[in-house]
A and B are shown apart, each in its own frame.
Chain A
């Protein structure tokens, strides 16, 4: 369980994290989604007590991270690939970290096995690929068999097999009742891996909720209609709250009307339909529309932003 209250971080004039509140529940994979520079890494460093919040607080399993007697048993973290002395071997790096908690060599061998690093465990980390560095980071995170995992961009730099491995791993860890909090700027990856998502942009939480809710609520559903009498149909559909766009002949994209209503109306006019498809947005599109709203909101300098049905629906 991770809970942030009014968490804020400023670097001089620049606000990296702007008064955010969120909680990350156990037993689920929670994605922390946002473009680069949105404040994801800063937030994660504050969770681990590496960066001091300018104001507000964040607790892990009920206490600030630094106040735990055995922090590695509470939270395992992957903060950046290869936060390791390049002259050290993977095995010695893990041994040194384990030693801080009096964790023995047996557990070190276990996490090496778990992350598939057996063959390279005695090699110097300086020669590791990014992918091996990520595996080593995850091995370090697992040392204390922690209740909570904080993983910053865990799939960054991994090959497809590695991506699949991380996905399987985090799903499994959450199924054991652990709290898993992972960040990414890859929306497609989040759609597959995460149960819940917290979307951050410019240091602010834009929205949060389950992946499905975010996709459903952040885009107004539209319907693709194909008809030989498209122009005539468009005339008939034109009314308040309905937007019709057309990118090719005989095809309309209708927003603001249910597919059933369009079909009924076409039937009463005797217009033949060759296709009637409700379009569902991808998480990626949802994300783009959400962050676009956030950018607009900022540039209009707080002066009564135009009511945006998308944003209202999300909040």
Chain B
């Protein structure tokens, strides 16, 4: 900080330098990795999800022990294994909501957004690149978490005949459903965060939509009961929970409904990003 440097007239700037989507994506990737909280968020979400599956697995083995239940033991059923391996998604999604919202609200909070948008003044590539980064990160986190959860719970459940049958189509769909669901939720959060431009507000709004609206949906009013299956979390969870009694949407229909919510949030974010002053 002491030297008063003299500007150098030889600058290593290629004359072909220009803005492109690939360049913007690279920039977003650098930003994603250079913030310390990224590693924490990703590690914590995996730990939480695997931890919850372990707890659930332990609980299930107790439930098969007639001495513990004091009566009818739980029947041996591989669907228990699916439930155990995927159990962490509902808590893991909270961490990914934070990740999705903060990927953009953090830039508004610090003023970084003005640097980002001045570098890419067409703006939409910035949002699109963020979406790619968030989608990739959340999908990988979901995949790693569910794979680890299956791996560590199988030895516990196997003796009871409850382990996941990986050759089963429903099991495959449910396991793959975890990363797919978490990816959609993180993207939805990014869209809401971009619209609200505020970390706390964004997180509260998304958690409200995912966790509070379904509770209101349980109120015994026909209109609310009709809407409830189409809410983002209820619709998306169909991929993981599979065919329960009284379902309106098939698993993949449900996921498409969730994707429609994601599209709406991101389109809203894109329109506002273009229209508003930074």
Contacts and interface: CB of A to CB of B under 8 A. Distances in A.
Nearest to B125: A100
A88 B119 contact: no
A50 B20 contact: no
Contacts of A116: 1-5
Contact of B121 (A48, A84, A85, A104): A48
Of the listed residues B13, B24, B117, the one surrounded by the most CB atoms of chain A closer than 10 A to its CB is: B13
Given A89-B34, A101-B18, A173-B7, A120 B121 contact: no
B9 A176 contact: yes
Contacts of A69: 18-19
Given A85-B107, A161-B4, A97 B27 contact: yes
A100 B119 contact: yes
B19 A100 contact: yes
B4 to A, nearest CB: 5
Contact of B27 (A86, A100, A106, A164): A100
A185 interface: no
Contact of A99 (B6, B12, B23, B36): B23
A93 B235 CA distance: 39
Given A92-B34, A103-B17, A165-B4, A71 B118 contact: yes
Interface stretch (A24-32, A107-115, A188-196, A230-238): A107-115
B19 A83 contact: no
B112 interface: yes
Contact of B5 (A51, A114, A120): A114
Nearest to A164: B4
A64 B204 CA distance: 38
A49 B13 CA distance: 23
B106 interface: yes
Interface residues of A, number: 63
Contact of A172 (B7, B106, B119, B277): B7
A202 interface: no
A101 B24 CA distance: 8
Interface stretch (A72-80, A203-211, A249-257, A303-311): A72-80
Nearest to B112: A85
Contacts of A224: none
A169 interface: yes
A51 B277 contact: yes
A240 interface: no
A83 B110 CA distance: 6
Nearest to B31: A96
Contacts of A143: 13
Contact of A50 (B30, B110, B118, B275): B118
A95 B32 CA distance: 12
Contacts of A49: 117-118, 121
Interface in A134-174: 135, 140, 142-145, 161, 164-165, 168-169, 172-173
Interface in B242-278: 275, 277-278
Contacts of B112: 83-85, 88, 93
Nearest to B6: A172
Q: What are the nearest 5 A-B pairs in CB distance? A: A92-B34, A145-B11, A66-B121, A99-B27, A83-B111
Given A93-B112, A144-B13, 17 more contacts: A49-B117, A49-B118, A50-B118, A66-B122, A83-B111, A83-B113, A83-B114, A85-B112, A87-B35, A93-B34, A101-B18, A102-B23, A104-B14, A117-B1, A131-B1, A140-B115, A172-B7
8 contacts: A50-B117, A51-B278, A71-B119, A72-B119, A84-B115, A87-B36, A101-B23, A172-B6
Interface of B: 1-9, 11-14, 16-20, 23-24, 26-28, 30-31, 34-37, 106-107, 110-115, 117-122, 275, 277-278
